Chain A
Amino acid sequence: MKEIRWHGRGGQGAFTASKLFGEALALYGGVHALAFPSFGPERRGAPVLAFTKIDDHKIDDRSDIKLCDYIVILDDTLYNESFLNDLKEGGKIIINTNTSHENKNESIIKIDATGIANSVLGKPIANTAMTAVLASVSGFANPEILYKSLSHYFKGELLQKNMEVINKAFEISRNIIQQ
């Protein structure tokens, strides 16, 4: 089973991202998925967690995720070094950040997803971009199945723009992976 933990702040769409990713894979990727928020009250701006489980078989294990294949962080102020202990072997942390510090840890991938969102949507909503970055880095999903899933959330111009975000995020992450 592949296990993903999402970090964001209430309102940034971390749970929507976890759901969009699970939905794309379960409906169009031929695998099984569960998506769930960190259970409890929802508050705008407060740190929130969301989770996606992915497997070839029906997922019946509903216990908490302990070690992750990927930790996706929508807001870099939420990053904590202790997260490295929560990774499985070969696991990766993907951080949305515009800081240009040199990346010393090979388990950490940095990408400016807010920059992508700002340039295409004109708004700093990075969740679609981060979903695409995860898809690209993990190889779990291609852009086409993300488009299909997105079409349940957006219509018309907004859908087109979000598809553009996905393309751009895929392109940038491919370059990062190659480096």
Chain B
Amino acid sequence: MTALKKFISGDDAVAEAVRLVSPDVIAAYPITPQTVVVERLSEMVEDGSLKSEFMHVESEHSALSACIGASAIGARTFTATSSQGLLYMAECLPYASGGRFPIVMMNGNRSVALPWSIYGDHRDSLSQLDSGWIQIYVEDAQESLDMTIQSFAIAEHQDILTPVMINLDGFLLTHTYELVTIPEKDIVDSWLKPLENKLAMDFDNPKNMAFSSQPSDNTEFKYQQHIAVENSREKIIEIEKSFAKVFGRSYGGLAEGYLYEDADFIIITLGSVTGTCRSVIRDLRSEGVKAGLIKIRFMRPFPVKEIIEYTKNAKAIAVLDRDISFGYEGAVFTNVNSALSRNNNISLKMNYIAGLGGRDISKDSIREIFKELKEGLIKKPSKTVKFLNLNVETDDNINEEKDNIPQHKSEGVLLWS
């Protein structure tokens, strides 16, 4: 067995994974930064290396609607979108999850208008956290490929039957080229069983789709959906273990803890900024700072148990959110805080809003976060939610002591002497 290695982008890696999985139906509409996925898949169908029905649609709303229709008769389906495209198909998202259609979707994370921006953040997918979809966030192109394959196993598991959205940071993952191992199709075929959906309809078993419900039974539908996603946790871990056995790669289940065991200070991340944080944490460790990391891989189902376990020795935590729920805080922070309401040992919980609309999150600014956590244990900051590297003067900036304001710093400031 010789797995092929290629130097490709995150978008390419997703397309390669979809080729290996060979869905029956692909329906997608191009949008930056997902476009390459759609281009590659249509090229593969054209040259015969992918035997899928590629449905050309006029919008994202139609793309997901087409997938819902195909999925209803038991077809394996894939779509991909981003940002405004995801919002345009938003009406169909709960149709897909409520109908228990095991559709897999790639989302290239991108900011939402206004202001119009093609650059990355998590405000698109996090706005759809309650749509009933399982949400995965990845860190590099290899994980993009591996998790696209696993997404089908998760969505199509007969006890789960819930659509899966796999999120890649726009540009930072979708357009960055790196070495990716591409498994052989035979091996993927034998690992991922063909979809045999017990709920599928055909001429012998006609069913009603887009059904309605009465107040007397709606709650029961929603309860079953909730239980399916709640109980998907163990299955997601089992699927990853079985994938690791065959393909030799695993990523830590619902959330990965990195150098967390003895960590005083822990940063909690989603997506590609995780890598940059790892790199800072290694530097800090060599300087004697007990820094650690939790990478949230699944926002739904949420890794409650893992977050409590990995933070059990932490004194202070920071959640890095590439989104903001205006008038409150970042959505990831809200979720983490809810999980941590069961752990009262942490003295300081901070929320940093960063990387909006594609802004760089530098190593220096991550060091600043750890520095603020350390200082915050002595003197509690006046605010929990802070915007990283804010370029405007605010009342907040003015009222605080100057030392506490995160600033653009030159390279390699030694903070821990």
Contact = CB atoms under 8 A, between A and B. Distances in A.
Nearest to A36: B176
A62 B178 contact: no
Nearest to A61: B279
Contact of A37 (B140, B175, B179, B358): B175
B171 interface: yes
Given A26-B179, A41-B118, A64 B362 contact: yes
Contacts of A91: none
Interface of B: 5, 7, 118-119, 139-140, 171-172, 175-179, 272-276, 278-279, 358, 360-363, 411
A19 B7 contact: yes
Nearest to B118: A40
Contacts of A36: 171, 175-177
24 contacts: A22-B177, A23-B177, A26-B7, A26-B179, A27-B7, A32-B178, A32-B179, A33-B178, A36-B175, A36-B176, A37-B175, A39-B358, A41-B118, A59-B275, A60-B139, A60-B275, A60-B278, A60-B279, A61-B276, A62-B272, A63-B276, A63-B363, A66-B411, A67-B411
Nearest to B366: A63
A13 to B, nearest CB: 15
Nearest to A18: B177
A44 B358 CA distance: 23
A109 interface: no
Given A27-B5, A36-B171, A62 B275 contact: yes
Interface of A: 19, 22-23, 26-27, 32-37, 39-41, 59-64, 66-67
Contacts of B140: 60
Contacts of B358: 39
B275 A61 contact: yes
B360 A39 contact: no
Contacts of A39: 119, 171, 175, 358
B118 to A, nearest CB: 7
Given A23-B7, A23-B177, A39-B171, A60 B119 contact: no
Given A61-B276, A67-B411, A34 B118 contact: no
Contact of B177 (A19, A64, A66): A19
A34 B411 contact: no
A66 B119 CA distance: 19
B179 A27 contact: yes
A132 to B, nearest CB: 18
A112 to B, nearest CB: 29
B154 to A, nearest CB: 25
Given A23-B7, A41-B118, A60 B175 contact: no
A67 B410 CA distance: 11
Contacts of A34: 176-178
B35 to A, nearest CB: 11
Contacts of B278: 60
Nearest to A37: B175
Contacts of A62: 172, 176, 272-273, 275-276
Contacts of B171: 36, 39
A59 B282 CA distance: 13
B7 A63 contact: no
B388 to A, nearest CB: 12
Nearest to B179: A26
Contacts of A32: 178-179
Given A33-B7, A33-B179, A39-B175, 12 more contacts: A26-B178, A27-B7, A27-B179, A32-B179, A33-B178, A35-B176, A36-B176, A60-B140, A60-B278, A62-B172, A62-B272, A62-B276
Among all A-B residue pairs, the 6 with the closest Cβ atoms: A60-B275, A23-B7, A39-B171, A61-B279, A36-B176, A64-B360
A83 B360 CA distance: 20
Name, among B172, B175, B278, the residue most crowded by chain A CB atoms within 10 Å (CB to CB). Answer: B175
Contacts of A33: 7, 178-179
Contacts of A63: 276, 360-363
A37 B175 CA distance: 7
B367 to A, nearest CB: 11
A36 B361 CA distance: 16
Contacts of A37: 175
Contacts of A40: 118-119
A27 B140 CA distance: 17
A65 B105 CA distance: 31
A34 B178 CA distance: 5
Contacts of B179: 26-27, 32-33
Name, among A23, A32, A41, A61, the residue most crowded by chain B CB atoms within 10 Å (CB to CB). Answer: A61
A35 B411 CA distance: 22
A22 B179 CA distance: 9
A37 B275 CA distance: 19
B413 to A, nearest CB: 13
A61 B176 CA distance: 12
A35 B361 contact: no
Name, among A27, A41, A63, A67, the residue most crowded by chain B CB atoms within 10 Å (CB to CB). Answer: A63
Nearest to A20: B7
A62 B141 CA distance: 12
Name, among A39, A59, A66, the residue most crowded by chain B CB atoms within 10 Å (CB to CB). Answer: A39
